[in-house]
Structure 1
């Protein structure tokens, strides 16, 4: 794929939260005249940002509209199936998830077709949050495109593998990008004919860096007095996050701490336990939050806490947040590749994954001496591109070169 009109497809742009909105808006701004395809609409904040930078919206039409309608119908059926079958054996519960994979494929194909139609012959279509399955089918039905696959959650069962095999030639129209080497290796093993390489999804620009005025304003808004220690715990409590370690570490802690928790879903029972701790003051920002709220949460914190279960190899948007905003990090050593990159960074305090004592020690030390902020070059050292670098990379991808 050579340089041309950049078409950004984000099927989840109607849902608040996550890092998709920031990346979508940043890439559109960096490219200057991007086309954006969001099949289910946009949240108001992102819509305003895209309008301000002149991004052109596009919608599936004709055959693409048929694919979109079919995908939406299948997803609704899958949602109903998940509710109806939740008490059935695992092999039965997998069926609705397989239907969801097919539904996502049809929606992606519809959006890719719309992108080529709106962007013209030189369009470079990029699906920012693509499904982990049926890559060749999406290429066969939709056309040439680049797809960011963030993780492999649901694998293909035999019927979908057969569908994928029948559309095998469609994989020649696709380049898959995985945000980490671990995800790239898993995709390469599952889809031997799929061109796939590791490339960070997140982008970071120094203009986003928080300043002292941001910090003072945020701490005042949360009611955190000057000189008192505060950390943030950002994002939904998904199974790959080790909240048991955080819970145990807070109960062992013997210093006063402000804890800012933001995201969805959360566990109210755990939050209630933390409220009962006399040395911890909890500040809650529930539900999916907007970008301005994300900035405020990080601005209030002396460090961000990231605790994951051993072996998790997906990209951490929270690490990128820390780099982007200039906030120190307390990080579990769950991912050897990430640990190797950060081991010598003075703004990071690593603790053993699964070890609440290690996190307690890190929190206690933070109360005694603040960590330095990440340098302006930290993003580059971690391989996180700027939005301009990412847009340039995406519009220069040569499909034939990558398939050799």
Structure 2
């Protein structure tokens, strides 16, 4: 790839992980850059999954190692790897022991430092790779040490923060204060207003904005033929009711409420549970319900498999614990794939956006009786219109690229740097 063709440096520290919505966004942004006549540079120092690498081969250069000529970047990468090992050893050392809270939290603080150094090495690799500097964007940024990454790298950049889930302890906060003058190098983009508000409260003086992460493909929606094939693959008849529960059951998810709601209703349906990790106890409870025909795909799904699950379904159910307000890729999937949505009211902003939508039913988070009352409405729910994506703030990849460039140039202009 010619260095002068680089228009965006898309830094994705999580590109080595199977699954996750960041793969979709990374691929679509790269394709959009190519459509403009300029390739993107993808920086993924921990590597890229084989599926994503294949998808990127015609649209982006992939940089999966620090710059060999950049001593500072190589030192940052070596430090990141070392801190990562120390963090893992620390987790093993404190696991199951009754130790003071600061000691139990130490591995998480080391992880924050490691992730910061990964960002430093990635930013420096991105700008060293191209003599004409690209727009550097960290697509999945750490929730801490925002200014430190800018200070140590010497790079102006955008960072997209999906949630703030690890609190900085005093030593990490001190490092953040040492680098506070470099806050002008950074614009932190929260994926929801709630994430931005969290950043503002925890990091006074940090420049922030809110902008959705997931991008929209115009051709995303399965057609009738694809829906028939998807149902046939699960052995489900065309006239049967199908609900999907997609994604791993992490701490912020609430699959127990879905189980209890299905147990409280006599409505017969097929339930497709797909993703990893899943809770075996909850799966066994669902399998024992006489009104539920359970289909389980217990693994990290490829993009094609996710599409098949949605194509086979009449509705998707998203259940989260109260107060969880980071962007839901599963809610975005409903708009992307044209699937009716039943969702908990865990996020005030999301609930307000969906209020009155014929394609979305909202139930009170963690209240199974309220969810049970919505299930009989599945057959009457309409598919979301194409305008639903705009309602959720989703943009096409070209529009997203334009937004990122605009935000970057505005940030440079604000601090008197040259765009």
Match of 1:23 in 2: 25
Match of 1:101 in 2: 112
Match of 2:134 in 1: 123
Match of 2:401 in 1: 391
Q: Once structures 1 and 2 are overlaid, which stretch shifts more, 94-103 or 250-259?
A: 250-259
Match of 2:73 in 1: 64
Match of 2:336 in 1: 324
Question: Are the equivalent residues in 1 in contact too, given 2:47–2:64 (CA < 8 A)?
Answer: no
Match of 2:143 in 1: 132
Equivalent-residue separation in structure 1 for 2:32 and 2:237 (angstroms): 38
Question: Are the equivalent residues in 2 in contact too, given 1:58–1:115 (CA < 8 A)?
Answer: no
Q: Structure 1: where are the runs of 5+ without partners?
A: none
- Note the C-alpha offset of 1:58: 5.6
Q: Once structures 1 and 2 are overlaid, which stretch shifts more, 179-188 or 206-215?
A: 206-215
- Note the C-alpha offset of 1:118: 1.7
Deviations 1:95-121 (A, max 9, x none): 000000000000011001111112334
In the alignment, is residue 264 of structure 1 matched against residue 273 of structure 2? Answer: no
Q: Once structures 1 and 2 are overlaid, which stretch shifts more, 59-68 or 178-187?
A: 59-68
Question: Are the equivalent residues in 2 in contact too, given 1:233–1:260 (CA < 8 A)?
Answer: yes
Equivalent-residue separation in structure 1 for 2:360 and 2:274 (angstroms): 21
Equivalent-residue separation in structure 1 for 2:105 and 2:179 (angstroms): 22
Deviations 1:333-364 (A, max 9, x none): 12111111011211111112222112112222
Deviations 1:290-330 (A, max 9, x none): 10111011111101001112221111111101111111100
Equivalent-residue separation in structure 2 for 1:44 and 1:58 (angstroms): 13
Task: Select the structure with the greater relative contact order (CA < 8 A; seq sep ≥ 6).
Answer: 1
Please give the TM-score of this superposition, normalised by the length of structure 1: 0.96
Question: Are the equivalent residues in 1 in contact too, given 2:158–2:188 (CA < 8 A)?
Answer: yes
Match of 1:52 in 2: 58
Q: SS at the partner of 2:110?
A: helix
Equivalent-residue separation in structure 1 for 2:107 and 2:414 (angstroms): 34
The total of aligned residue pairs comes to 400
Q: SS at the partner of 1:162?
A: helix
Equivalent-residue separation in structure 2 for 1:298 and 1:120 (angstroms): 44
Question: Are the equivalent residues in 1 in contact too, given 2:6–2:40 (CA < 8 A)?
Answer: no
Q: Once structures 1 and 2 are overlaid, which stretch shifts more, 393-402 or 239-248?
A: 393-402
Equivalent-residue separation in structure 2 for 1:29 and 1:39 (angstroms): 21
- Note the C-alpha offset of 1:402: 5.7
- Note the C-alpha offset of 1:403: 6.4
Deviations 1:338-397 (A, max 9, x none): 11101121111111222211211222221xx24211111111122111111101111222
In the alignment, is residue 380 of structure 1 matched against residue 380 of structure 2? Answer: no
Match of 1:147 among 146, 159, 184: 159
Q: SS at the partner of 1:16?
A: coil
In the alignment, is residue 5 of structure 1 matched against residue 16 of structure 2? Answer: no
Equivalent-residue separation in structure 2 for 1:307 and 1:149 (angstroms): 22
- Note the C-alpha offset of 1:12: 0.8
Q: SS at the partner of 2:57?
A: helix
- Note the C-alpha offset of 1:83: 1.9
Return closer, same or farther for 1:402/1:152 CA change in 2, 3 Å cut-off. farther
